[in-house]
């Protein structure tokens, strides 16, 4: 890709690394007008990449790079265009927090280095420039291609990865990223965190917490056990005040409360309430026999 100014003046290296500062050399740091030209190059590269990938809008531009913590590897051919140089293409990478599915369908939270945009000028493709640029990035980042995540890779990029790095078996994702099988196998356990999907039926408690409550309630005698229907609640002065939120409501044992003494429902023969009723009945009989009516 040619420009109406000297590319070699902007980019001193064959492959220059740019970040949010848009500084490619000592000259561009000292001369603001050179940074304006660098911004022009990035904007035109972003437009060409979006057109090649049939994207509705560019995902790479100077303004985007200035507000994102990404790195852009820009490659030039300094000898072309009568010594003024041409831009061959670019590769943009950056770290992103992703929720990916492994082969078993388990959600994994990870923050890998991602390939975000990759473009080689059409008239310069199939000359080995793309492989050279990609290998330079791998060396600079000290990362294997299988440990990268790829954002919306084009069919050309997928074919490129299969041909040069034997990356063929990808794990289907619900987002636009592509990760390959060995991404989950080779990555250290400390870099992966399994994420449990929230379930509407168990909010705001986990299954383990709810099962513990159920087990505890099963061990209590009637009427201290929770009712079978989840929509019914036991109203009693012996119950604790409900806590904030929607915590499970529990009933405290209160065996001498008079509210239960005259309950006509069938009681368990070994329940504390039945013992309390029997004691009171015995006392009442004794008093009547002694003439204390």
Q: Where are the beta strands (DSSP E) in the chain?
A: 15-18, 70-77, 86-95, 98-101, 107-110, 113-120, 149-151, 170-171, 177-180, 193-195
Contact 60, 80 (CB under 8 A): no
* Among 160, 196, 166, CA closest to 181: 166
Binding residues for acetyl-CoA: 118-131
119: left (phi over 0), alpha (psi -120 to 50) or beta: beta
Q: 3-state secondary structure string, 131-188?
A: HHHHHHHHHHHCCCHHHCEEECCCHHHHHHHHHHHCCCCEECCCCCEEEEHHHHHHCC
Binding residues: 118-131
């Amino acid at each position: 890709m040619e420009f109406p100014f000297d590319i070699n003046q902007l980019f001193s290296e064959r492959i220059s690394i740019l970040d949010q500062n848009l500084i490619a050399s000592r000259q561009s740091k000292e001369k603001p007008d050179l940074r304006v030209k660098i911004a022009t190059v990035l904007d035109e590269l972003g437009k060409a990449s979006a057109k090649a990938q049939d994207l509705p809008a560019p995902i790479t531009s100077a303004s985007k790079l200035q507000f994102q913590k990404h790195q852009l590897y820009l490659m030039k051919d300094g000898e072309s265009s009568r010594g003024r140089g041409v831009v061959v293409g670019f590769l943009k990478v950056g770290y992103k927090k992703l929720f990916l599915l492994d082969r078993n369908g388990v959600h994994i939270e990870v923050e890998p280095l991602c390939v975000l945009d990759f473009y080689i000028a059409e008239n310069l493709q199939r000359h080995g420039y793309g492989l050279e640029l990609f290998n330079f990035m791998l060396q600079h980042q000290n990362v294997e291609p299988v440990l990268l995540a790829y954002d919306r890779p084009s069919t050309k990029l997928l074919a490129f990865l299969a041909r040069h790095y034997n990356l063929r078996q990808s794990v289907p994702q619900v987002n636009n990223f592509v990760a390959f099988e060995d991404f989950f196998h080779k990555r250290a356990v400390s870099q992966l965190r399994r994420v449990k999907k929230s379930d509407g039926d168990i909010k705001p408690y986990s299954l383990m917490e709810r099962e513990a409550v159920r087990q505890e309630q099963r061990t209590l005698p009637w009427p201290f056990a929770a009712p079978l229907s989840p929509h019914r609640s036991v109203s009693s002065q012996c119950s604790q005040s409900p806590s904030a939120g929607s915590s499970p409501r529990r009933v405290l044992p209160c065996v001498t409360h008079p509210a239960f003494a005259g309950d006509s429902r069938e009681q368990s023969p070994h329940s504390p309430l039945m013992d309390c009723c029997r004691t009171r009945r015995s006392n009442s009989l004794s008093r009547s026999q002694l003439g204390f009516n």
